[in-house]
A and B are shown apart, each in its own frame.
Chain A
Amino acid sequence: MDFMILSVTLLAVGIYGLLTKRHLVKVLISIEIIAVAASMNFVLLASSLNRALGETFLVLAFSTDTCVTAIVLALLVITVKKYGTSDIRKLAEIERASDEEQKFLEGE
């Protein structure tokens, strides 16, 4: 049983979700899975080597990860309230349209 392969598998699942999903919350879930895959290496390698330093790093990494999630969720709520959609592609289209509108107004 090798936990490094498990970690790589979870990383692959997370990257697949990041590349294919369009809903903002699903993208955030993919990022969570990638973060969990990365931090799992610290714990399982540290516990197999019987050293506590890896576990300590993980506790710190968890706190940072939760902070990042909170910030991203706050931005996400603001974005959805402003534009009315949680689809990444629609958001990109709105952004492109507003850029073109601004260029048009500047040209006038």
Chain B
Amino acid sequence: MITELIVAGLIFSACLAIYLDEVVYSIISLACMFVFMAFLYALNGAVFVAVFQIAVGAGTLAVLFLAGEMLSEKPEKEKSLKKIFPVALLAAVLSLLAIFLSVTITPANISSCFSFAEALWNLRVMDVILQGLVIITVALGIAIVLYEREEGES
């Protein structure tokens, strides 16, 4: 029952994030979606991923908040609460589809079974290192682009 409620909340907040005109409200809905998703992961036994989702989601949302505040213009007229009703209805229908429909999956016969740490540090160690390099390069690249732009303006 809890899983079904979380799924319904997840779909409703995703629909609201798309539907709402005000960017800041959309980002708040996206935050709710991330939280629901983390709960879903935790309920399915992927606790580490749930924590990671919250941590990364918080960073992403903070940056989105800043950009949303900087770039958004006030919409001409606010959407009334009555107009949210069709979205809630749509979200309820989509949730029912997600809860009651099913697809049969035959699991692949893979004999070896790893723990999370083994899989991350033994099998994917090169990916982790390369990804660290990519993240550092991206951060430096963004800093250089913004610095050069400021230099050009002044």
Q: Please list the residues of chain A having a beta carbon within 8 angstroms of any beta carbon in chain B.
A: 1-2, 4-6, 9-10, 13-14, 16-17, 21, 23-26, 28-30, 32-33, 36, 40, 43-53, 55-60, 62-67, 69-71, 73-74, 76-78, 80, 86
A-side contacts of B154, CB under 8 Å: none
Known A10-B11, A78-B149; further 13 A-B contacts with Cβ < 8 A: A2-B98, A33-B33, A40-B40, A52-B115, A56-B116, A59-B120, A62-B53, A62-B56, A64-B131, A64-B134, A70-B138, A77-B70, A78-B145
Per DSSP, chain A at the interface is helix
Interface size for B (C-beta < 8 A) is 67
If A13-B14, A60-B128 touch, whether A26 touches B114 (CB-CB below 8 Å) is no
Q: Is the interface of B mostly helix, strand, loop or mixed?
A: helix
Q: How far is the CA of A71 from the CA of B59 in the complex (A)?
A: 14
CB distance from B24 to the nearest CB of A (A): 10
Chain A nearest CB from B42 CB (Å) reads 10
